[in-house]
Amino acid sequence: MSDKISKEIRSLVTNDGNIELSIKTAEIPTPGADEVLIKVEAAPINPSDLGLLLSFAADISSISTSGSGDETTTTMKIHPALMNAMKPRLDQSMQVGNEGAGVVVDAGENAKELIGKTVGLAGGAMYSQYRCVPAASCLVMDEGTLPSEAASSFVNPLTALSFIETMKMENHTALVHTAAASNLGQMLVKICKGDGIPLVNIVRKSEHVELLKDLGAEYVCNISDKSFMDDLVAAIVATGATLGFDATGGGNNGELPSQILAAMEIAANKKAKEYSRYGSDTYKQVYIYGGLDQSPTILKRSYGMSWGLGGWLLTPMIGRIGMEKFGQMRMRVAKEIKTTFASSYAKEISFEEMLEPGIIQSYAKQATGEKYLVNPHKE
């Protein structure tokens, strides 16, 4: 820190139809009265980071690099048909990284007590060696918590907890979750088991079934099984789930959200006392909160007229929950960061490694068990 310079990852969309990733330097700021300066030691690459880092429009097969070390620049072509969507960010060198963790190394006069503390935060621009933020933005971790353990303390944990709050606020009693073997999915299994909430998990590989069963999941349905729809209906009958959260946006040839609604309708009709040409009067809701599958979402409307399909984002939901409840959720995350909200990573990488074509292709796949952790100070 003696040279007062901090390195950071930047993403730039150029007028000639490229997206460029590079390592830039910036002066380390001096924290204001209510601010802290964090030495960032760990920041995950989440699916939500890829939208800014690589953009949904990048052609991953076109990766090329120039330079080396801190002078490395990685370039990818933007799909021409999607270039118009990139206009709002043309020629803007943008900081990236939604969340991370580190140690407070300096603080303003009103936050001196945080110096030396390990903190997690979702402050943006977290692929930086040093980050200056309001002290109130930090989640202070218990003694003995490493930055690598606290790196994913916001996006996945608070999303999982907010699923539960959405369920309660909208008068549902059980959940369906897709891509359930993900880090977030594993957290949700632990939360629901601990809180006594019925949960139906949808995965796509037999090893994912075993993974979740080992965590204590009771209902795990595998899309790859021929009996998938029968298994899903049986699980929904058993749990009474009428709310689903879908991370794929498509999934199973684009039909997964529709299949969940259809299974909910079949389950509801099994309990119906009389036939209705309009379908059951049980309200069924599926929220799409991710885009792991870029194929179109196909709705085959076989679930009556009492249903909903919509988008779901964490930040607006936090506004609905309110700051008091949100504060309680944050404290639970800090307390259970090594258990319920523990995250695992395939590899820890440096800024330079983050720009390597092979590594980009790996983390861009968003595959279960292949999540990467960025260490801004790794050589």
Q: pTM (2 decimals)?
A: 0.91
pLDDT above 80 (res 39): yes
**Which residues make beta-bridge pairs with 20?**
12, 75
C-alpha span between 310 and 210 (Å, rounded): 30
Using alpha carbons only, what angle is made at residue 197 by residues 320 and 248, rounded to the nearest 5 degrees?
65
In this prediction, residue 277 has a pLDDT band, given cuts at 50, 70 and 90, of confident
Question: What tens digit of pLDDT does each residue of 117-164 get?
Answer: 999 999 899 999 999 999 999 999 999 999 999 999 999 999 999 999
pLDDT for res 276: 76
The alpha carbon of 298 is separated from its chain's Cα centroid by a whole number of angstroms, namely 23
Question: What tens digit of pLDDT does each residue of 352-369 get?
Answer: 999 999 999 999 988 888
In this prediction, residue 370 has a pLDDT band, given cuts at 50, 70 and 90, of confident
C-alpha span between 59 and 18 (Å, rounded): 9
pLDDT for res 131: 97
C-alpha span between 313 and 318 (Å, rounded): 9
pLDDT more than 70, % of the chain = 99
Mean pLDDT of 181-195: 97
pLDDT for res 107: 98
Strand duo 243-246 + 284-288: pairing: parallel
pLDDT more than 90, % of the chain = 89
Q: Which of 18-27, 86-95, 268-277, 296-305 has the lowest mean pLDDT?
A: 268-277
- If phi > 0 it is left, if psi is from -120 to 50 it is alpha, else beta; for residue 315 that is alpha
Task: Compute the mean pLDDT over every residue in the chain, rounded to the nearest whole number.
Answer: 95
- List, in order, residues 6 or more apart from 66 with CB less than 8 Å away: 72, 73, 75
Mean pLDDT of 35-41: 98
Q: How many helices (H) and strands (E) does the chain have?
A: 11, 18
Q: Are 72 and 20 within 8 A, CB to CB? A: no
C-alpha torsion sign, points 333, 334, 338, 344: positive
Mean pLDDT of 271-279: 76
Which residue ranges does the chain devote to CATH 3.90.180.10? 5-152+344-374
Which residue ranges does the chain devote to CATH 3.40.50.720? 155-318
C-alpha span between 43 and 98 (Å, rounded): 8
pLDDT above 90 (res 3): no
pLDDT for res 1: 44
Q: Which CATH architecture has domain 5-152+344-374?
A: Alpha-Beta Complex (3.90)
Fold category of 155-318 in CATH: Rossmann fold (3.40.50)
Q: Are 46 and 105 within 8 A, CB to CB? A: no
pLDDT for res 75: 97
In this prediction, residue 279 has a pLDDT band, given cuts at 50, 70 and 90, of confident
C-alpha span between 273 and 189 (Å, rounded): 33
Question: What tens digit of pLDDT does each residue of 203-247 get?
Answer: 999 999 999 999 999 999 999 999 999 999 999 999 999 999 999
pLDDT for res 369: 80
CB atoms within 10 A of CB 89: 15
Mean pLDDT of 70-87: 93
Strand duo 118-121 + 100-107: pairing: antiparallel
Question: What tens digit of pLDDT does each residue of 340-356 get?
Answer: 999 999 999 999 999 99
C-alpha torsion sign, points 169, 277, 257, 187: positive
Closest CA to 177 of 162, 67, 120, 138: 162
Q: 195 or 250: which carries more pLDDT confidence?
A: 195
In this prediction, residue 271 has a pLDDT band, given cuts at 50, 70 and 90, of confident
